[in-house]
Amino acid sequence: MQAEGWYRDPYLVHEDRWFSAGQPTKLVRDDGLESYDPPPDGPPKVELVEVRHSQASDGSDLRRADDAKAGAAYDPNSAAWSTIDSLGSVYGERN
Could you read off the pLDDT of 31-63 as tens digits, one per residue? Answer: 989 999 999 999 999 999 999 876 556 777 677
Instruction: Compute CA 89 distance to the chain's CA centroid, rounded to the nearest angstrom.
Output: 27
Judged against a pLDDT cut of 80, whether residue 77 lies above it is answered with: yes
Angle at 32 between CA 26 and CA 37, to 5 degrees: 20
* Amino acid residing at 85: D
What residues does each domain of the chain span? 1-52
- Give the per-residue pLDDT at 75: 76
Residue 89 pLDDT greater than 80, yes or no = no
Any idea what DSSP says for residue 70? G
pTM for the whole thing? 0.56
* 3-state secondary structure (DSSP) of residue 30: strand
Phi, psi torsion values for 73, nearest 5 degrees: -75, -25
Among 54, 33, 34, 45, which Cα is nearest to 9's?
A: 45
CB 19 within 8 A of CB 4: yes
Return d(Cα 21, Cα 27) in angstroms, integer: 14
Residue 94 has pLDDT above 70, yes or no: no
